[in-house]
């Protein structure tokens, strides 16, 4: 028990020393900085606390972003998994639509911003649609590959036991494809974060992107740096949350697989 | 019929044709100026093909993209392999890189824009700072992927270090390095066009943004189409290079995307 704890401490110390050294170096290196663009870390952290670490700041700067991200990513996840499953289960359709999908996927999501503004205006719906469109493709293509990669034997077992369509989807297709779907969703998450920030620079609904742009226009450099720190923390926390969800869901998947294995 | 090669091609052409038809119908149903028809778009694109401006625009974007990719590739792979070969360096940098990787590269755009203005250099900085992480992190993994048996063998035969690096270490890590480079390549192109669009630096992204300001929708659609075709071209070239570099490796035929 004690050795375990000391091992754990060694790992933490090894992983933490360099970031700590860098932050300390940044703090002292920038303490007497008079550069407009690189303010002292103390004033950056002051702006960060003022803009982000209270309920008013969170409500106007963070909540709108989280709402957009949740809606856009949710739409992409739902539609990507549904369409990916359909295409994955009908190879002829998948082969026929491959060139079209490749062209659409190659469009950089941000490049569509002007088109979406002209088509849908600058409201929330436009931003949700843009985020959804940009993060849809990795989920779709990974779902197709995941569904097509499901062990064929499992389909035969389902056939023998006369599983209905729904039962077959829930107990054969989705469990088999879920690791690949998660891989696609992780890529989609980082794409949706980029498109989120970009889309918020138009219109005035608050959010991180809006805040960042306003800070730049007002030449509020410390606030701008504070927003960069906030975005870094948000990205990191989202990644950790994603990893936790993935671990819980894929553990269930592993259990399911071993059970199927033992029944066989 | 469905399974023959021509049948498949035919089906693909039908799908593309249906998509074009949908585009056409949508463009005629919407108010004018909102969505150009395919004919207007391809007409505009055909007109640009003979103007020098079109080709300098492409050259700006491709130039920034290639330079950024070269910097990310050289720096990311070298540092990544070096860190990956040392367990202590690897552990010390894990949290740091994990954190930096998740910052959306767009976050630093306002700062870089203030520092460099709307120039290709501004775009380059954003692209390098955003695209280097997948290459770096994948190279760190790559350094540990070599076959341990080969490493021990070259040690027991007392092969020179140089020989070991050239013939055992580098080939062993190459497949993983290539995966990182492929992801990095996609991100580089995406960020180049994004940086141009948001920062106003010359290139495809700027043309799209500028066309929106003049409500010149055919130009807007034409350049979005160009950016998609560029993406397809870059992908195809990457596959060709990867096929050559990893010809000997079996992983080649199985790909996750």
Spatial distance between the Cα atoms of A43 and A53, rounded to a whole number of angstroms: 14
Taking each helix axis from N to C end, the angle separating A124-148 and A63-89, rounded to the nearest 10 degrees, works out to 40
Interface membership of A236 toward B (CB under 8 Å): yes
Q: Which of B95, B19, B236, B6 is nearest to A23 (CA)?
A: B95
Cα→Cα distances B47→A112, B124, B222, Å: 22, 30, 10
Give how many domains chain B has, as a whole number: 1
Cβ of residue B127 closer than 8 Å to a chain A Cβ: no
Residue B132: domain span: 42-252
Of B98, B208, B256, the CB nearest to A111: B208
What interhelical angle do B87-102 and B52-84 show, nearest 10? 140
In this complex, do A108 and B229 lie within 8 Å of one another by their Cβ atoms? no
A114 interaction partners in chain B (CB closer than 8 Å): 197, 208-209, 211-212, 220
Which residues in chain B touch residue A145, judged by CB atoms under 8 angstroms apart? 256-257
Say whether residue B217 is in contact with chain A using an 8 A CB cutoff. Answer: yes
Asked if A229 contacts A23 with a C-beta cutoff of 8 angstroms, the reply is: no
Q: Quick check: B1 pLDDT over 70? A: no
Burial label for A21, CB within 10 Å (0-12, 13-18, 19+), is exposed
For residue A209, the tally of other CB atoms under 10 A from its CB is: 29
- Chain A residue numbers with beta carbons less than 8 Å from the beta carbon of B197 are 110-111, 113-114
For B49-73, how does the pLDDT look when each residue is reduced to its tens digit (9 = 90+)?
999 999 999 999 999 999 999 999 9
Nearest Cβ partner of A16 from B95, B212, B256? B95
Q: Is residue B91 part of a domain?
A: yes
Q: Has residue B5 been placed in a domain? A: no
Of A95, A114, A142, Cβ closest to residue B212:
A114
Gap from A145 CA to chain B (nearest CA, Å): 7
Binary contact (B190, A228; C-beta < 8 A): no
Q: Identify the sign of the CA torsion B160, B162, B165, B168.
A: negative
For the segment A42-85, what is each residue's pLDDT rounded down to a tens digit?
A: 999 999 999 888 888 888 889 999 999 999 999 999 999 999 99
Question: Above 70 in pLDDT, residue B17?
Answer: yes
Q: Which residues of A touch B114 (CB under 8 A)?
A: 37, 216, 221
| Model confidence at A261: pLDDT above 70 | no
**Minimum CA–CA partner of B204 in chain A:** A111
- Residue A254's pLDDT is 62
Give the length of chain B. 257
A100–B16 CB contact, under 8 Å: yes
Which residues of B fall within a CB distance of 8 Å from A95?
8, 11-12
Total count of residues recorded for chain A: 264
A193 touches chain B (CB under 8 A): yes
Identify the pLDDT of residue B242: 86
Identify the CATH number of the domain in which residue B209 sits: 1.10.3720.10
Percent residues over pLDDT 70 in chain A:
94
Q: Of A209-218, A244-253, B120-129, B241-250, which has the strongest mean pLDDT?
A: B120-129
Check residue A155 and give its pLDDT. 78
Contacts of A199 (CB under 8 A, 6+ apart): A68, A113, A126, A127, A130, A131, A209
Taking the mean position of all CA atoms in its chain, how far away is CA B39? 29
What band does B168 get if pLDDT is binned at 50, 70 and 90?
Answer: confident
- If one compares B66 and A258, the residue with the highest pLDDT of the two is B66
Residues of chain A with C-beta less than 8 angstroms from the C-beta of B108: 228
Spatial separation of the C-alpha atoms in residues A222 and A36, rounded to whole Å? 9
Residue B197 included in any domain: yes
pTM: 0.86
User: Quick one: angle between helices B52-84 and B170-199, nearest 10?
Assistant: 140
Question: Measured in whole angstroms, how far is the alpha carbon of residue A36 from the centre of its chain?
Answer: 33
Select from 1.10.3720.10, 1.10.10.10, 3.40.47.10, 3.90.1150.10 the CATH code of A41-263: 1.10.3720.10
Residue ranges in B30-108 assigned as alpha helix (H): 38-48, 52-84, 87-102
State the alpha helices, DSSP H only, in chain A: 2-31, 41-52, 55-57, 63-89, 91-106, 113-120, 124-148, 152-160, 165-168, 174-199, 208-217, 221-263
pLDDT band at A151 (very low <50, low <70, confident <90, very high): confident
CB contact under 8 A, A92 and B11: yes
Q: Judge whether B208 is closer than 8 Å to chain A, CB to CB.
A: yes
Distances (CA, A) of A200 to A93, A129, A253, B30: 36, 13, 37, 26
B256: which DSSP letter?
A: -
**Contact between B102 and A236 using a beta-carbon 8 Å cutoff:** yes
ipTM value of the model? 0.84
Cβ-defined contact of B104 to A104 (cutoff 8 Å): no
In sequence order, what DSSP letters do the residues of A195-233 get, joined into one string?
HHHHHTTSSSS-SHHHHHHHHHHTT-HHHHHHHHHHHHH
Do residue A224 and residue B217 have CB atoms under 8 angstroms apart?
Answer: no
Per-residue pLDDT, averaged over A141-166, amounts to: 82
Tokens 């739409």 belong to residue: A75
CB contact under 8 A, A17 and B190: no
| Residue B196, in any domain of the structure | yes
Q: Which residues of B touch A201 (CB under 8 A)?
A: 198
Asked, for residue B17, whether it belongs to a domain, the answer is: no
Task: Give the residue with greater pLDDT, B160 vs A195.
Answer: A195
Residue B252 has a pLDDT of 52
Whether the CB of B8 is below 8 Å from some CB of chain A: the reply is yes
Distances (CA, A) of A147 to A91, A94, A259, B12: 11, 12, 20, 21
Contact indicator for A154, A176 with CB cutoff of 8 Å:
yes
Percent above pLDDT 70 for chain B: 95
Across A119-152, b (16+ Cβ under 10 Å) vs e yields eeeeebebbbbbbbbbbbbbbbbbbbbbbbebee
Q: Give the residue-averaged pLDDT of B168-176.
A: 82
Taking alpha carbons only, the member of A13, A69, A43 closest to residue A207 is A69
Tell me, rounded to whole angstroms, the distance of Cα A175 from its chain centroid. Answer: 21
Residue A166 in this model has a pLDDT that exceeds 90? no
Show the CA angle centred on residue A84, arms to residues B192 and A122, nearest 5°: 50
Test B227 with A95 for CB contact under 8 angstroms.
no
Q: Is A121 helix (H, G, I), strand (E, B) or coil?
A: coil
CB contact under 8 A, A102 and B16: no
As a whole number of angstroms, the distance between CA B107 and CA A230 comes to 10
Considering CB atoms only, which of B30, B108, B232 is closest to A228? B108
Q: What are the residue ranges spanned by the domains of chain A?
A: 41-263
Residue A264 has pLDDT above 50, yes or no: no
Residue B7 has pLDDT above 70, yes or no: yes
Q: For chain A, what is the radius of gyration of the CA atoms?
A: 23
Kindly report, residue by residue over B187-209, the tens digit of the pLDDT: 999 999 999 999 889 999 999 99
Neighbours of B91 (CB within 10 A): 17
DSSP B33: T
Question: Which of A5-9, A64-68, B87-91, B227-231 comes out lowest in average pLDDT?
Answer: A5-9
Residues 58-77 of chain A with CB under 8 A from chain B are none
DSSP tag of B108: G
Contact A96 B15 (CB under 8 A): yes
The confidence score (pLDDT) of residue B257 equals 39
pLDDT in tens, B73-99: 999 999 999 999 888 998 899 889 988
Question: How many Å apart are CA B91 and CA A246, to the nearest integer?
Answer: 23
Interface of A with B in 121-180 (CB under 8 A): 138, 141-142, 145, 180
The answer on pLDDT for B215 being more than 50 is: yes
| CA proximity to B65, closest of B115, B117, B127 | B127
Q: What is the pLDDT of residue A1?
A: 54
Of B90, B71, B83, B93, the C-alpha closest to B184 is B71
Q: Is residue B45 predicted with pLDDT exceeding 50? A: yes
Average pLDDT, rounded, for chain A: 87
Identify which of B215, B217, B224 has the shortest CB distance to residue A107. B224
**Tokens describing residue A86:** 């359909």
By Cβ distance, the residue of B91, B95, B99 closest to A232 is B99
**Confidence (pLDDT) at A2:** 58
- The beta-carbon neighbor of B197 closest among A103, A107, A110 is A110
- The predicted pLDDT at position B250 comes to 57
């Amino acid at each position: 028990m004690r050795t375990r704890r000391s091992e754990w401490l060694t790992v933490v110390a090894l992983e933490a020393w360099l970031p700590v050294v860098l932050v300390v170096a940044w703090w002292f290196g920038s303490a007497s900085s008079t550069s407009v663009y690189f303010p002292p870390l103390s004033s950056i952290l002051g702006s960060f606390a003022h803009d982000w670490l209270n309920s008013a700041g969170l409500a106007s700067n963070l909540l709108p972003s989280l709402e957009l991200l949740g809606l856009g990513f949710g739409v992409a996840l739902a539609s990507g998994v549904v369409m990916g499953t359909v295409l994955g289960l009908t190879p002829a359709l998948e082969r026929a639509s491959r060139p079209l999908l490749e062209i659409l996927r190659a469009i950089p999501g941000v490049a569509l911003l002007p088109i979406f503004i002209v088509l849908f205006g600058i409201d929330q719906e436009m931003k949700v649609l843009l985020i959804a469109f940009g993060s849809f493709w990795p989920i779709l293509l990974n779902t197709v590959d995941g569904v097509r990669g499901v062990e064929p034997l499992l389909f035969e077992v389902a056939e023998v036991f006369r599983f209905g369509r729904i039962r077959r989807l829930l107990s054969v297709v989705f469990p088999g494809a879920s690791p690949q779907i998660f891989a696609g969703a992780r890529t989609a998450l980082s794409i949706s974060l980029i498109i989120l920030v970009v889309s918020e620079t138009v219109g005035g609904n608050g959010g991180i992107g809006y805040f960042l742009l306003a800070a730049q226009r007002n030449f509020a450099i410390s606030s701008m740096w504070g927003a960069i720190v906030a975005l870094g923390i948000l990205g990191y926390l989202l990644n950790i949350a994603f990893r936790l969800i993935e671990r819980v869901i894929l553990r269930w998947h592993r259990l399911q697989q071993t059970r199927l294995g033992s029944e066989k | 019929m469905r399974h023959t090669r021509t049948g498949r091609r035919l089906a693909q052409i039908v799908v593309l044709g249906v998509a074009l038809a949908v585009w056409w119908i949508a463009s005629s149903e919407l108010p004018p100026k909102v969505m150009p028809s395919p004919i207007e778009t391809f007409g505009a694109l055909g007109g640009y093909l003979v103007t020098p401006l079109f080709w300098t625009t492409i050259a700006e974007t491709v130039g920034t993209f290639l330079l950024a990719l070269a910097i990310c590739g050289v720096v990311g792979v070298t540092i990544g392999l070096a860190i990956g070969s040392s367990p202590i360096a690897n552990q010390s940098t894990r949290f740091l890189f994990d954190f930096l990787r998740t910052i959306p590269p767009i976050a630093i755009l306002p700062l870089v824009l203030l520092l460099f203005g709307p120039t290709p250099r501004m775009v380059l900085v954003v692209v390098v700072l955003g695209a280097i992480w997948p290459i770096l992190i994948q190279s760190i993994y790559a350094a540990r992927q070599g076959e341990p048996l080969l490493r021990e063998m070259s040690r027991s035969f007392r092969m020179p270090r140089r020989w070991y690096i050239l013939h055992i270490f580098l080939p062993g890590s190459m497949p993983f390095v290539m995966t990182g480079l492929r992801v990095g390549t996609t991100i580089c192109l995406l960020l180049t066009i994004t940086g141009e669009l948001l920062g106003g630096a010359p290139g495809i992204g700027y043309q799209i943004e500028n066309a929106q300001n003049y409500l010149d929708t055919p130009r807007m659609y034409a350049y979005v189409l160009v950016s998609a075709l560029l993406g397809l071209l870059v992908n195809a070239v990457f596959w060709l290079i990867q096929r050559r570099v990893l010809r000997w490796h079996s992983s080649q035929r199985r790909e996750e995307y």
